[in-house]
Structure 1
Amino acid sequence: MECKGYQFWTQADKQGYFYIKDVRPGNYSLYATVPGFIGDYKYEHDITIEPASEINLANITFEPPRSGPTLWEIGIPDRSAAEFNIPDPYPSLVNRLFTDNYANKFRQYGLWERYGDYYPDHDLIYTVGTDNYKDDWFYAHVTRSRNGTYEATTWQIVFQLEDVWTGDYTLQLALASATYAELQVRFNNQTDAPHFSTGLIGKDNAIARHGIHGLYWLFSVDVPSYRLQQGYNTIYLTQSRNWGPFAGVMYDYIRLEGPPPE
């Protein structure tokens, strides 16, 4: 979110070594991300760069957020929604520069409106263990257009628990993008007050700009065990802001973790 100062970037090699050269003198913070893991690394100290200096940081270790064992997961933690169901464009809006490259399939105008075609009367329901996120998880959680207005939408994740353990579960909710959205989370009762809400977040406009990711968001939601039950459970994800077609989020990765081992 910080863009007022200078930024210098590099990519570590397979052994984790990296080198950043030609950095202007000043005080800096060091951040890192690791593909396949949620969260951000931040070095615990500021780094002061002086002219003609060289700094060796020795070993630095990233410990990604985790509270307990994985019970289920949706998606790939890569800060992108590319692995989800990206629909075909409307025939009248096809950009033929990208029709032969699946990696750029999202670069088509009007894809967000295909949600209403896929789900004209009800919202997405995803059953863990049965559905496949590549086919059954729409790439963007957007509003639905109906009679000239836009409706907020609620997606459901249905899953089973053989037992409910004592302690707090954790819902790791990583977003690849958000645009003037508010994501509310409820458990097993859609009419309850939200157990968690992001509040109003995001203005990266990745949905409107035919992108597949924008600014990354990670929310670790504590879930007391009394909110869950043995057997079938449902998580309700409501994108409650309905000001227009581009209000929405793109999910990166969702994971439910059990309570920490004793």
Structure 2
Amino acid sequence: MTLSAYVGLAPPGDKGSWQMESKGYQFWTQSDQKGNFSIKNIRPGNYNLYAYVPGIIGDYKYDNIITVQPGSNITLDVLVYEPPRNGPTLWEIGIPDRTAAEFYVPDPYPNLTNTLFDSSPKNKFRQYGLWERYADFYPNEDLSYTIGVNDYRKDWFYAQVTRKIGDGSYIATTWQVNFELKDRPITGDYTLQLALAAASFSELQVRFNDGEARIPHFTTRLIGRDNAIARHGIHGLYWFYSINVSSFWLRQGSNTIFLTQSRATDAFQGIMYDYIRLEGPPQISL
């Protein structure tokens, strides 16, 4: 059974994503469980067609421009989306639903609790000041998560934010993902599929087994202006990266991925993760 997809028409643009295209109207709908959809009452014009499916990483984009004319009725052929995948899943963190709602959201400070919102997971993230709780849980060392031991629902903080120190300034934070490879890495590229639910004036740097490497193995560079953390949101704009991981960066036995949010001038620079998955090379067998 096909999962229900969100399907939309957005004006062609140079932003690279329908999320940042604001030069015209967008028209969206939700497909049925078989993937059928219909979008009505569209303004005439040229459009790109996009789609995404909760539970599946990445975005679909139709190859051709769709021209809507007054009174027209356009029928498309079967549209097939092949989600990004280069090899078998070795491990994963989170749920690919474009939000950070499944991760650990702390209780608010008692003096800041807003009684308009209940404490259910649906509303818990709306409480004020939750980003400052990170320093309470990790006053000296940052989050360290071990695959097969930790539970992302309890042990993965909902936002990677800066840490405020004694003089009132802020410092960058580096999270660690620890995992085991029981065999020697197979020569070739592994893949780290990395989806972010939000980013605010931040830069995520990724290093493999060398947290002090001067040049990261991957960096997003400066991204994000959605400010979801400060606005008590659980997602902003979606960012997706498919990162090639050389087998030379990995080793048999214990491995660590270092995730550094390197921009740190205020409390609200940070990211929210949506989903992380490490894939083996295509030829690996599990």
Shorter-chain-normalised TM-score: which range?
over 0.9
Which residue of structure 2 lines up, in the alignment, with residue 155 of structure 1?
175
What are the Cα deviations for residues 161-193 of structure 1, in whole angstroms up to 9, with x where unaligned? 012111100001100000000000000011112
Which residue of structure 1 lines up, in the alignment, with residue 82 of structure 2?
63
CA contact (8 A) 2:159 2:273 kept: yes
SS for the counterpart of 2:54 is coil
Measure, in 2, the Cα distance between the counterparts of 1:71 and 1:146: 37
Which residue of structure 2 lines up, in the alignment, with residue 49 of structure 1?
68
Q: 1:102 aligns with which of 98, 121, 124?
A: 121
1:1-262 equivalences in 2 (<5 Å): 1-147=20-166, 148-163=168-183, 164-192=185-213, 193-261=215-283
Measure, in 1, the Cα distance between the counterparts of 2:268 and 2:115: 23
Deviation, 1:208, is 0.2
Deviation, 1:19, is 0.5
Which residue of structure 1 lines up, in the alignment, with residue 15 of structure 2?
none
Measure, in 2, the Cα distance between the counterparts of 1:125 and 1:84: 14
Measure, in 1, the Cα distance between the counterparts of 2:119 and 2:173: 32
CA contact (8 A) 2:89 2:278 kept: yes
Aligned length: 262
Measure, in 2, the Cα distance between the counterparts of 1:239 and 1:91: 28
Measure, in 1, the Cα distance between the counterparts of 2:182 and 2:119: 45
1 or 2 for the larger relative contact order (CA 8 Å, sep ≥6)?
1
Letter in 2 for 1:199: R
Measure, in 2, the Cα distance between the counterparts of 1:52 and 1:101: 47
Unaligned runs of 5+ in 2: 1-19
CA contact (8 A) 2:101 2:121 kept: no
SS for the counterpart of 1:135 is helix
Name the TM-score, length of structure 1 as normaliser. 0.99
Measure, in 2, the Cα distance between the counterparts of 1:51 and 1:102: 45
RMSD across aligned positions (CA): 0.8
**Identical-pair percentage:** 66
SS for the counterpart of 1:234 is strand
Name the TM-score, length of structure 2 as normaliser. 0.91
Deviation, 1:101, is 3.0
Measure, in 1, the Cα distance between the counterparts of 2:76 and 2:121: 40
Measure, in 2, the Cα distance between the counterparts of 1:102 and 1:130: 23
What are the Cα deviations for residues 214-241 of structure 1, in whole angstroms up to 9, with x where unaligned? 0000011100000000000000000000
Measure, in 2, the Cα distance between the counterparts of 1:102 and 1:80: 12
Measure, in 2, the Cα distance between the counterparts of 1:166 and 1:245: 42
